[in-house]
Amino acid sequence: MKLYVTNTSPYARIVRIVVWEKNLETRVETIVVRTRVADSPYYRINPSGRVPYLVRDDGAGLEDSALICSYLDHLDGEPAFEPPAGEAGWEARRLEALARSWLDAIAVWTRELRRPAGERSPTTIAHEEDRSQRLADTWEVEIAGPLMQGPLNMAQIVIVSVCQYSLNADFFWRHGRPNLAAWVDRIAERVSIAATAPPSK
């Protein structure tokens, strides 16, 4: 299988963490590509140009980090990241959705900041920055919950990918959020998290 990523995409990093956690490094070939440039050769592989993108052994391509993670997690018949049954499962899904909302806010905000100055939308930037700060406050509380303190799960993987995102120099979340900061510092020592850490700012 071939996994197409960029080194800076937090969506791609989520999948790369799962590859490590499931011990798939020898089965999944990770290929770094260039996106958001005209005529990138990658567009002949994935016409949408998005990452991550997994080409399965049968040639079928999977797009979307949640879908790819679920596929990789089930390859050995022993999924580690499938939400549990019952109420705990709904709580796991709630937390992952909340984490992905923060991820989306950061992605849209950063994309807008990277546009040429004359093409940026101040309204969009302000909206996504405000949304990010609200979600950071929310996660300062949510991070103390049992699912965020227990075994590694998808919500945890998404949150650490958000908090360690490095492309947005205006993204500050640590001040006034000691619980979240301590959690990120602790999980950052895990092998899969350290091995996939993004480039520093």
pLDDT of residue 75: 98
Alpha-carbon distance of 105 to 185, in angstroms, equals 22
Burial 94-117, CB ≥16 within 10 A → b, else e: ebbebbbbbbbbbbbbbebbeeee
Which residue ranges of the chain lie beneath pLDDT 70?
201
Angle between the 178-187 and 122-142 helix axes, to the nearest 10 degrees? Answer: 80
- CATH code of the domain occupying 86-195: 1.20.1050.10
Question: What Å distances lie between residue 29 and 65, 73, 197, CA to CA?
Answer: 16, 16, 18
Domain boundaries, the chain: 2-74, 86-195
Contact between residue 68 and residue 9 where contact means Cβ atoms under 8 Å apart: no
Q: Pick the closest to residue 150 from 182, 183, 178 (CA basis).
A: 183
pLDDT of residue 201: 57
- CATH code of the domain occupying 2-74: 3.40.30.10
Q: What is the pLDDT of residues 42-71, one digit of tens each?
A: 999 999 999 999 999 999 999 999 999 999
pLDDT of residue 167: 82
pLDDT of residue 169: 87
